[in-house]
Structure formats: structure tokens, C-alpha cells
Amino acid sequence: MEDSSPTVERAMLTRAVRIFVARHASAAGATGATGVTQGNSFASFPCPSGLGAWFELSVSLSGDPRQNNGCVATLADLDSAVRATAIRILRDALFFREDFARAQPALLVHELSSGLESALGRPIDMLQWRITPFHEVVWRQDMPTHTTVTSTFEFAASHRMHDASLSEELNRTQFGKCNWPHGHGHNYRVEVSVSADVSNPPSMAALEEEVCRHVIERFDHRNLNLDCPEFARQNPSVENIATVCFALLENPLRARGMDLRAVRVWETSKTSATVEAVPVKTTRIELQRSGVRGETVHA
């Protein structure tokens, strides 16, 4: 019988590792006499003792799983490399490094990726460093001299979905409760990603200043249909909001030395739209709605 299964030559593995970094190394959470990791490594390693900083690092690397018993890499090796490398580098940066300018995350992520490659003895594809649940820096093998920084914001606003060219009945049919005459509100979340060369790394402070000035102050606690000229002639759908935010931010961020990579707007925890910069100078919108997954349209 002929085998119809697909041939996989390369696969990418991503492993998230959570660490706790304190001024002094803690014996708690170290491997015990049996060689088994002690403590709750799902939450962090080592086990927290006193005050310190918690971080999550996700390392991605690719390879042929057929060459290593079905694995791209051994998870134990990945965990050990991330813990040994990241805890050492970040402890030094947080508590002992005198050159504070070199201790900013946009630069440290390059030092972390280089250290991980040395510890693993092989290249990695990407390193994502989640500094807080709402701040992230990323190093990528295909953009080795750049850093991507992502920060998340929020604003509260009301809107109404309505198409003046349709009858009231068709509007109610198409938009449902979103067509109520007096509108309804959302707590929107906006995730903005920028990149810049490591010689002039992206500043989270500059990113937040521009997003607050051009997006949050413009839309927060507004009726988007009535108070915002951007939506006077178009529905303030989550797709259009993401597109408008991208347009509002692209030039101001470029003036601050940052290339806008993506804007993602959440309308609810189940519905979001993402507008990305793509090489062909078009704008891609990815919609994630309840029941609609992975749909992509071009504007």
C-alpha cells in the first residue's frame, strides 16, 4: 500500500521558558540530588525567593525531526540553555551592569539570542522576550540587525454599525444588536509592533508617546460615529479601526526612527483585526472572529 502521508523536511519548534531573576542566585528551585527540577517550573525557574523579576522567553528553532528521534530539539536542552543563559545575562543587566544604556531590552534581546545560540551550538530562528503581559521584544534570524518591539494599549469608545444605503430592516439583519440606534460600547485593546535597526533601537517610551498622542487621545471615551471624522463616512468596524490606527501611526513612528510592522485591535476577547506592513506595499488585514479563523483579505 502506497504511503500518502506528507513528507516533512523541516519543522519549527517553539518552547516557552519562564524564569525568575533575583540579585543573588537562589538555591531554591535548583536541581536536586535526583537530577529532577525542584519547584513549579511551569510558573518560573528557579522558584521565587524574595523580590526579583519574572520573564517569559520563547525560543523557536527549526530542523528535520527525522534526524533526532522525531524531535527538532530536546526540550530539556532548550530549558537548560534558556535558564542558564538568560538568568545570567539578565541578572547582570538588572543588578550589576554599569552601562545602563546597553541594558535596554531592545539591545539585550540580541545578546540573549547570541548567548542561546552558543549554548545550544546551533542557530535559532526567533527569540520572543515577554517583559510583561503587555510588552514584548523580538529578535528574528531573518532580521538579525533589527529588533521588534510590541506594546499594548486600551481605550473605551462607543459605536454603531449602520449602512445608510441599506434599509433599516437590512441594517438590523446584517448588524443585529450592533445596529441599535444609540450604539453600544467596547473596551478596545490596541497592540502596536514596530521595528528598528539595533544601531538605533526602538524606544518603548517613544512608541507609547506616539500611540497615546495619535490614537488613544483621539478615540478614548468618544462616540466613534459622531465624534471622530475618520468614521464619518465609514463604519467604525474593528477592521476599519485597525486600518485607521495604522494610517495614523505610520508616519509619526517613522519620524521617530521606527518602522510600523503591525497594528492589532481587539473589539472583544473573541474578535480582532490586524493590519500589517507587507513588502509589496499593500496592507493585509487578518480577521479573527468567532467562527471565522484565519481569513485574510486585502485592502
Which residues are catalytically annotated?
178, 221, 267
User: Which 8-state DSSP code applies to residue 165?
Assistant: T
d(CA 258, CA 49): 38
Cα 260–chain centre separation: 13
H or E stretch covering 58: strand 53-63
Dihedral angle at the C-alpha atoms of 176, 177, 182, 186, nearest 10 degrees? Answer: -120
Place of cell 500518502: 4
DSSP string, 104-163: SHHHHHHHHHHHHHHHHTS--SEEEEEEETTEEEEEETTEEEEEEEEEEEEEEEEE----
Cα–Cα distance list, 65 to 3, 9, 74 (Å): 19, 8, 11
Q: Among 202, 206, 217, which Cα is nearest to 154's?
A: 217
